[in-house]
Structure formats: structure tokens, C-alpha cells
Structure 1
Amino acid sequence: MNVNDLLAETYGRLPELVRSAVDGLSAEQLRQPPAPGANPVGWLVWHLTRIQDHHVADLLGEEQVWVSGDWAPRFGLKADPDDTGYGHGPEEIAAVRPEGPTALVGYFTAVADRTRRFLAGLTTADLDRVVDETWDPPVTLGVRLLSVVDDDLQHAGQAAYVRGLILR
């Protein structure tokens, strides 16, 4: 298996995880935290998508899908390229109000399609390129891509768990 196939397989698992986490939930259920101050399904899926959008857009030197598309109003938000959910407190979490599963899946699909095209063109040598020198050791493209998919998979699992709590 080459690196493109490996990355495509790993990132390719996310769309079904996202769909299964939100499918059939109402807008209210997507916004319902499992406990006071906890992250609801809608916020978790929005956040994992924002992280992938933010980081991959940066790697490509392109504008984020969040900013270039009409997604933000469908979540009750402004198209702020720096708002990824990182560091959100309870009030900011509650402000993320997806209009329904279609908005979450649609935004994720747009981001995942761009990521898939990016991954298809990578070479093994590309993965060693330093993309962030503010860390010690500096972050390579390969490490950044693993960090994004790791974060996304964890949040998708959390969303599935919260979904189960809501539907009980």
C-alpha cells in the first residue's frame, strides 16, 4: 500500500462516521448537550469539520470552505476563518446551531472532497516538508495530516457516543 492509499483509506472512513452520527437527528437533538456544559453532536461534527477545513486550507494556501461558501449562516455563525471551536466555552458551544443534519453532512462533504483531492496528489517526499516551525520539533506535512485525522476520528467517536445518549 502506498502513502496515498493509506491516507485516502484513513480519511475515507470519516464520511460514514459523520453521517451515522447525525442521520435522523433533529436540529434540537443536534444542539442538545448530554450534560450541562458538554459538547452536543452538532458542535462535535462542526468542530471536526472546521479543524480539517482550517488545516487543509492552510496546507494548500487556499481559502477555507467555511469562508468561501455559504455554510456559516446555516450554523447561525459568521464566516470567521479563525473560529474552529478550539477553546470554546459553554456559551460559544451553544452558539453553534446547525439547521439540521444536511448542513453538517454538506459542509463536511465539501471539506472532505477537497481533502481527498489534496491527498491524491501527495508524494512520499511531500510528507517530510515542514509546515509549522513554531513547534519543537517542527511539524511536517505528514505529522499535520495525522494530527488532523486523529482529531477528527476522536470527535466522530464522541459524536456517536453522544448520539447514543440522546436517543436512549
Structure 2
Amino acid sequence: MKASEILADGFGRIQEIVHEVVDGLSAQQLNARVDPAANSVTWLVWHLTRVQDDHVADAAGSEQVWQAGEFAARFALPLPAGATGYGQSARQAGTVEVASGDLLLEYHDAVHEQTLRYVRGLAGADLDRVVDERWDPPVTLGARLVSVLADDLQHAGQAAYVRGLLERG
């Protein structure tokens, strides 16, 4: 199996979990916080998608789907246009809400498609390219993509847990 196929499979698993979590939830459930300091399903899915969008677009040298697909305007969040959720306070996270899961899934699916187009075109040697020299050691493309996968899977699992809590009532 090629590295590009492994990466595509990993990102596909994230998309599957996101759909399982979001499908069938009302806006109230999506936006609910089980504790004032907890993240909602909406925030968790928005954040994991924003991080994937931001990091993959940066690595690919392409425009983020958030801007190109006008999702920033469509979500109309009271946050800076480039916000990804990283470092947000509980209050800021609480402002990330949707009227339905449709927009959330549409954004996630658009990012997923852009990610797949990019990773499917990668050769094994591409993964050694340094994409961030601010770290010691510098971050390679392979390490960055695995980091996005790991972060996204953690947040998808958290969203699934929150959904389970909400369904138990």
C-alpha cells in the first residue's frame, strides 16, 4: 500500500466518524454543551475541519476551503476570519453554533475532498519535505499530515462521546 493510500484511508475514517456523529442531531443537540467549559459537537467538528483545512491548504500551497467556498461568510461566526479554534476560550468556543448539521457536513465534505485530491497526488519522497522550520526538528509533510490525522481523530472521538452523552439525556 502506498503512503498516499494510507493517508487517504485515514482521512476517510475521520469523515465516516464525522457523519456518524452529526447525522440525525438537531441544532439544539449539535450546539449543546454538557458543561459550560465543555465543547459542543458543533465546535469539535468545526475545529477538526478547520485544522485540516488550514494545515493541508498550507502544505499544498492552496487556498483554504473556508475562504474559497465562502464558508466563513456562511457560518457567520463572531470570530476572526482565520480562526481555527486553536487556543480559544470556553466563551469563544461557545459562539460556534450552526442552525443545522447540513452546513457543518457540507464544509467537512468539501475539506475532505480537497484533502484527498492533495494526498492522492503525493509520492513517498514528498513526505520528507520540510513544511515548518519553526520547530526543532523541523516538521516534515509526513509528520504534519499524521499530526492532523491524530488531532482530527481525537476530536471526532470526543464528538462521538458528547453525542452519546446527549442521547442518554
Same fold (TM over 0.5): yes
Amino-acid identity (%) = 55
Q: What is the Cα deviation at residue 98 of structure 1?
A: 1.5
Contact 2:78 2:95 in 1 (8 A): no
Deviations 1:114-164 (A, max 9, x none): 000001110111000000000000000000000001000000000000001
Structure 2 counterpart of 1:61: 61
- CA-to-aligned-CA distance 1:46-65 (integer Å, 9 cap, x gap): 00000000001101112111
Report how far residue 78 of structure 1 moved. Answer: 6.0
Gaps of 5+ in 1: none
Question: Could you tell me which residue of structure 2 aligns to residue 75 of structure 1?
Answer: 75
Structure 2 Cα separation of the partners of residues 81 and 144 of structure 1: 23
**Separation (CA, whole Å) in 2 of partners of 1:8 and 1:97:** 29
**Structure 1 length-normalised TM:** 0.95
Q: Which moved more, 1:5-14 or 1:73-82?
A: 73-82
Partner of 2:130: 130
Call closer, same or farther: CA 1:81–1:55 in 2, change over 3 Å.
farther
Structure 2: distance between partners of 1:16 and 1:100: 18
1:15 matched to 2:15? The reply is yes
Query: 1:70 and 1:79 mapped to 2: Cα distance?
Result: 15
Q: Runs of 4 or more off by more than 2 Å in structure 1?
A: 72-76, 78-82
RMSD: 1.3
Q: Is the Cα contact below 8 Å between 2:31 and 2:98 reproduced in 1?
A: yes
Structure 1 residue 75, shift from structure 2 partner = 2.8
Contact 1:76 1:96 in 2 (8 A): no
| Aligned length, in residue pairs | 168
In structure 1, the partner of 2:111 is: 111
Aligned counterparts of 2:37 and 2:43: Cα–Cα separation in 1: 12
Q: TM-score, normalised by structure 2?
A: 0.95
